[in-house]
Structure 1
Amino acid sequence: MTALIPFRTQRSEGVADNTKAKFSDMMEQTRNILSANPMISPQMEKFWEAQDRMLQETEAYSQAWFQRRHEATQAALDAVQKMNGKKADSSATVQAMADWQHGSIQRMTKDMQQWFDLCTTCVGQMTQAEVEAGQKGAEEVAKTAQSAAKSAQNKKKATPV
């Protein structure tokens, strides 16, 4: 049994080394792709910034939605208590049910309004990110073109040896 332990260690180290090499190769390829196309980096940067903003918006929506669900649960409990009370009459029961339904409609309306706002905001975030990335990418391309033009001018001025 002890003979297997060194084998496992050697095998595990070999797999880890191979995984590190593959990851390193992948990172090098990614760096080469990014440096070859100056438009990609701004696109990626703005995409992830927009994703972060959308997550914040979604989190705020979710918190508000859960708060309304808690209110709905409490309202239903209150209605049940009013309808089952010893002094409850039919008019109190009808009124408790009407109040609960009215509150439910208001909460569902608010859900839909905030859902629509969330979707609109997210689309706006992605649109804004695309515009900003395009502007930043165009600036990067212009810088690259200027650098290439200067390099070409310097080569023309160089005296052959």
Structure 2
Amino acid sequence: MSTKKSHSNDPATLVGVFKQMKPPMSGNPVFSAQIEQFWDAQEKMLGEAEVFAQHWFERRHEAVRTALQAARSASSANSSDPSNALQNMAEWQRHSAERLVADAQEWFETVARCAAYVAESEAEAVEKTVDDVAAATKSASKSSKSEPV
């Protein structure tokens, strides 16, 4: 008795599905432009995500460095005057809030650019698909009107 289970999300199964889809999709001008534009948009969005992540990590590193400086300053402050320590911590918190605002602002800008890529990509794909279908239809109508040999 076999105990091997079949999983529909098995990579071998997915490869088989994509192989089955390839012939109808590759020969069909409707899918060609859509596929190309989809992957082009994916590439642009990955680039945007990479830039955002890089800036986010830079801000987090700055937060850690400045927190360490504030902690050192607070611990070395004159114990008879805790206002200096409180001022250092308040300054760090203010800059932390600024970093959080920068995170949110850059995130919204990144999402907006990605949405624009998708919209532009979709518009280009539709335009190319219409042109390809029109050309294919024109070519098919010419060949159907030709005289037999």
Shorter-chain TM-score range: 0.7 to 0.9
- CA positional deviation for 1:91: 1.8
Kindly provide the amino acid, as one letter, of the partner of residue 107 in structure 1. Answer: R
| Ranges in structure 2 where 5+ consecutive residues have no aligned partner | 1-11
- CA positional deviation for 1:86: 5.1
What does residue 82 of structure 1 align with? 73
Question: Which of 36, 42, 46 is the equivalent residue of 1:55?
Answer: 46
Moved over 2 A (4+): 25-29, 86-89
Question: Which of 6, 13, 35 is the equivalent residue of 1:44?
Answer: 35
Aligned residues: 135
| Ranges in structure 1 where 5+ consecutive residues have no aligned partner | 1-18
The answer on whether the counterparts of 2:52 and 2:106 sit within 8 Å (CA) in structure 1 is yes
CA separation of 1:115 and 1:90: change in aligned 2, threshold 3 A: same
What does residue 31 of structure 1 align with? 23
In terms of fraction of residues, the more helix-rich structure is 1
Distance 2:39 2:18 in 1: 20
CA separation of 1:63 and 1:29: change in aligned 2, threshold 3 A: closer
> TM-score scaled by structure 1?
0.77
Verify: 1:111 aligned to 2:103, yes or no: yes
> TM-score scaled by structure 2?
0.83
CA separation of 1:147 and 1:56: change in aligned 2, threshold 3 A: same
Distance 1:150 1:40 in 2: 23
- The percent of aligned pairs where both chains have the same amino acid is 36
What does residue 62 of structure 2 align with? 71
